[in-house]
Amino acid sequence: KINSRSRAADIADDEWTSLEDLAACADIISLHCPLTEENKKFIDRQFLSRMKHTAFLINTARGGLIAEEDLADALNEGRIAGAGLDVLSAEPPERGNPLLQAKNCIITPHIAWAAKEARARLIKIVGENIRGYLNGKPQNIVN
């Protein structure tokens, strides 16, 4: 669960720090978590106000993690440096989504996974799965 009392790993010294402290000291915050009722729109005005003015927010997880109006305001007012978003709360984006016109906001069409390297790895895994099946040693079985 992610909420205002959750904790995030501080990789530098293997201790834990609060999300509030993380927001205040991170240069880049990249979201990689599922969307749950507990973390819906947890990136909101309050969280964004804690971020450094030079910080960037990246979201390749789920659009509903971010209060989009709050992020657009933070970007347009220069409270954070920028955002890179591969997901929005509604896809395709609804007309009037404030992030479509926000300053320093790059939005990709939910294709962050589609780098050439990722596609090549996917094709290799499929080939290995087929070979394994044909040789009587199936891999990556889902029951």
Active site residues: 62, 91, 110
Residue type at 11? I
- Cβ neighbours of 34 (radius 10 Å): 9
User: How much of the chain is helix, strand and coil, in % rounded to 5?
Assistant: 35, 15, 45
H or E segment and range at residue 74 = helix 68-76
Are the beta carbons of 59 and 82 closer than 8 angstroms? Answer: no
